[in-house]
Chain A
Amino acid sequence: MTKDLSRQDRTLGEALRGQGISRRSFLKFCAATASMMALPPAMIPTIAQALEKAKKPSVIWLSFQECTGCTESLTRAQAATIENLIFDAISLDYHHTLQAASGHAAEAAREAAMKEHDGQYLLVVDGSIPLGNPGYSTIAGISNVDMLTDTAKGAAAIISVGSCAAFGGIANAKPDPTGAVAVSAIIKDKPIINVPGCPPIPGVLTGVLTHFLTFGAIPELDHLGRPVAFFGQSIHDRCYRRPFYDRGLFAETFDDEGARQGWCLFKLGCKGPSTYNACATMKWNGGVSFPIEAGHPCIGCSEPHFWDGGGFYKALSMPTGNVSENAVYAAAGAAVGAVAVSALNRAKKKKATEAHEEVTVDDLTK
Chain B
Amino acid sequence: MNEIEFLSWVRGPGFQIATVIFVAGIIIRLGETLLLGRKANLAEAKGSEMSSGLRTVAARMLPPDRETFKRSTFTIVAGYIFHIGLFVTIFLYAPHILLIKDVIGFGWPALPSQIVDAFTVVSLIALLAILLHRLTDKVLRHLSGPEDYIVWFVTIAPLLTGYLAFHRLGGSPVMMLAIHILSVELLMVLFPFTKLMHTFTLFLARWYNGAISGYRGVES
Q: Are B112 and A333 interface neighbours, CB within 8 A?
A: no
Contact with B along A311-326 (1 / 0, CB 8 A): 0001111111101101
Query: Does B51 belong to the interface (CB within 8 Å)?
Result: no
**Segment among B18-26, B139-147, B202-210 that sits at the interface with chain A:** B18-26
B4 and A304 contact, CB distance less than 8 A: yes
Residue pair A274, B4 in contact (C-beta under 8 Å): yes
Flag if B24 contacts A245 (CB, 8 Å): no
The segment from B67-75, B94-102, B123-131, B148-156 that touches chain A is B94-102
Chain A residues with CB under 8 Å of B96's CB are 317
A68→B174 CA distance, assembly (Å) = 30
Please give, as numbers and ranges, the residues of chain B lying within 8 Å of A138 by CB-CB distance: none
Contacts of A334 in B (CB 8 A): 23-28, 31
Contacting B at CB under 8 A, from A305-353, are 305-306, 308-310, 314-321, 323-324, 326-327, 329-331, 333-335, 337-339, 341-342, 345-346, 349
The answer to whether B103 and A234 touch across the interface, beta carbons within 8 angstroms, is no
A interface secondary structure, majority:
helix
Give the distance in Å from the alpha carbon of A306 to the alpha carbon of B35 in the complex.
47
> Are B99 and A317 neighbours in the complex by a CB distance under 8 Å?
yes
- Total contacts A-B at CB 8 Å: 145
Known: A320-B12, A327-B20. A304 touches B2 (CB 8 A): yes
Residues of B within 8 A of A303 (CB): 4
Q: Is A219 an interface residue (CB 8 A)?
A: no
- Residue B110 interfacial (CB < 8 Å): yes
A321 proximity list for chain B (CB < 8 A): 12-13, 15-16
Q: Which residues of A contact B25 (CB under 8 A)?
A: 334
Q: Tell me, yes or no, whether B170 is within 8 Å of chain A by CB.
A: no
Q: Could you say which residues of chain A place their CB within 8 Å of the CB of B20?
A: 326-327, 329-330
- A234 to B114 alpha-carbon distance, docked (Å): 21
Nearest chain B CB to A134's CB is how many angstroms away?
26
Chain B residues 74-100 with CB under 8 Å of chain A are 93-96, 98-99
Given contacts A267-B94, A345-B32, contact A326 B16 (CB under 8 A): yes
How large, as a class, is the contact surface on chain A? 35 or more
Question: Which candidate, A88-96, A124-132, A246-254, is the interface stretch facing chain B?
Answer: A246-254
What's the nearest-Cβ distance from chain B to residue A248, in Å? 3
User: 10 other contacts beyond A327-B103, A345-B35, with CB at 8 A cut-off?
Assistant: A273-B177, A306-B4, A310-B8, A315-B95, A319-B12, A319-B16, A324-B104, A330-B21, A333-B24, A346-B35
- Which residues of B are in contact with A by a Cβ distance under 8 Å? 2-5, 7-8, 11-13, 15-16, 19-21, 23-28, 30-32, 35-37, 93-96, 98-99, 102-105, 110-114, 116, 168, 173-174, 177
Instruction: Identify 26 residue pairs between A and B in the complex whose beta-carbon atoms are under 8 Å apart, listed by A's number.
Output: A223-B3, A247-B114, A248-B94, A248-B116, A304-B2, A305-B4, A305-B5, A308-B8, A310-B8, A315-B95, A318-B98, A319-B16, A327-B103, A330-B19, A330-B24, A330-B27, A331-B23, A334-B23, A334-B25, A334-B31, A338-B30, A338-B35, A342-B31, A342-B32, A345-B35, A365-B32
